[in-house]
């Protein structure tokens, strides 16, 4: 049986679509392959010419060395992410509730003014921030970094929650108000129980952003309070590096957000797209 011209054309188009997609997949994953392969090589066997070869045997020691080199930085990042994510999500949820369901004097200006905070280059506030943090004795510690990430996380968390709460019908709130619920009652009994997906989006987003952040991490800390990204930059910096360590370090630093992305990708994308505003 022969194919008609139409079938033949359709077949070639379909096939080429898949070929292009598979090629692109390989392009996107090539760096991953290289990282994994390099991290598992014995440093003595790493040379540029055999970059793409598989290791003769998996050499796991690099990961132990990396964990040792990161030392307290891994713990700092975990503490930082936990603290700042929880604080900025809770505050963002309240803000979103207020901006979407309560009339606040001047909210037409306050909300955009708040949102602008998520677009500014943080370099613009870095030096006054440095001055301020030194002044209140929070410079150079994990607590200070938690405060910084909480505050600069407020615009995006407020935005996501506000957009989420706008869809809750006002009638539900009014009904609760008639039943005698006050500001906190409405939040606790109606808004909060409906917020779980909103919280998932915000927590994932804040977790990834804060875990991956570098600028505040490198300028607002001392050696005891640095986050993992700074540790990785130090591991990979300089000229004569043994590449198994930075690659193993990159895997350790990438793993938590990557796992979150793979397991909860749908929510991650919602956070991602929320960043392009459209309130």
**In the window 120-179, what residues touch other proteins (CB under 8 A)?**
120-132, 148, 151-152, 154-155, 158, 166, 173-174, 177-178
> CB of residue 55 vs other proteins: minimum separation in angstroms?
15
> CB of residue 140 vs other proteins: minimum separation in angstroms?
12
Q: What are phi and psi of 221, to 5 degrees?
A: -130, 165
> CB of residue 128 vs other proteins: minimum separation in angstroms?
4
Q: Write out the binding residues for other proteins, residues 59-88 only, by CB under 8 A.
A: none
Q: Write out the binding residues for other proteins, residues 94-123 only, by CB under 8 A.
A: 94-95, 98-99, 102-105, 110-117, 119-123
User: Which residue, 17 or 82, is less far from other proteins as judged by CB?
Assistant: 17
Q: From 57, 52, 27, 25, select the one nearest 38 (Cα to Cα).
A: 52
CA angle (102, 106, 111) in 5-degree steps: 75
DSSP 105-146: TTHHHHHHHHHHTTTS-THHHHHHHHHHHHHTT-TBSHHHHH
Alpha-carbon distance 189 to 40, whole Å?
A: 52
Burial class (CB within 10 angstroms; exposed 0-12, middle 13-18, buried 19+) of 14: exposed
Q: Write out the binding residues for other proteins, residues 178-207 only, by CB under 8 A.
A: 178, 182-184
> CB of residue 86 vs other proteins: minimum separation in angstroms?
15
Alpha-carbon distance 101 to 207, whole Å?
A: 27
Q: Write out the binding residues for other proteins, residues 23-62 only, by CB under 8 A.
A: 24-25, 28-31, 34-35, 38, 48-49, 51-53
Q: Write out the binding residues for other proteins, residues 217-276 only, by CB under 8 A.
A: 218-219, 229, 232-233, 236-237, 243, 246-247, 249-250, 253-254, 257-258, 260-262, 265, 268-269, 272-273, 275-276
Q: Are 153 and 210 in contact (CB under 8 A)?
A: yes
| The binder of other proteins chosen from 165, 211, 225, 226 (CB under 8 A) | 211
């Amino acid at each position: 049986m022969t194919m008609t011209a139409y079938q033949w054309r359709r077949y070639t188009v379909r096939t080429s679509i898949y070929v292009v997609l598979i090629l692109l997949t390989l392009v996107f994953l090539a760096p991953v392959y290289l990282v994994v392969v390099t991290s598992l090589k014995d440093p003595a066997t790493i040379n540029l010419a055999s970059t793409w070869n598989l290791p003769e045997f998996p050499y796991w020691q690099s990961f132990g060395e990396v964990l040792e080199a990161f030392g307290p930085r891994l713990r700092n990042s975990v503490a930082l992410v936990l603290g700042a994510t929880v604080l900025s999500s809770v505050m963002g949820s309240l803000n979103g509730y207020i901006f979407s369901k309560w009339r606040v004097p001047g909210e037409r200006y306050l909300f955009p003014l708040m949102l602008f905070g998520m677009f500014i280059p943080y370099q613009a506030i870095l030096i006054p921030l440095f001055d301020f943090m030194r002044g209140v004795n929070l410079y150079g510690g994990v607590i200070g970094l938690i405060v910084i990430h909480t505050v600069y996380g407020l615009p995006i968390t407020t935005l996501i929650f506000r957009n989420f709460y706008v869809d809750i019908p006002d009638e539900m709130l009014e009904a609760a108000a008639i039943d005698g619920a006050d500001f906190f009652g409405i939040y606790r009994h109606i808004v909060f129980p409906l917020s779980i997906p909103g919280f998932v989006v915000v927590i994932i987003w804040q977790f990834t952003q804060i875990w991956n952040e570098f600028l505040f991490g490198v300028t607002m800390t001392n050696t005891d309070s640095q986050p993992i990204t700074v540790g990785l930059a130090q591991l990979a910096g300089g000229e004569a590096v043994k590449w198994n360590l930075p690659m193993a370090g990159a895997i350790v630093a990438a793993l938590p957000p990557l796992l979150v992305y793979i397991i909860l990708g749908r929510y991650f994308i919602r956070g991602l797209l929320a960043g392009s505003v459209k309130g």
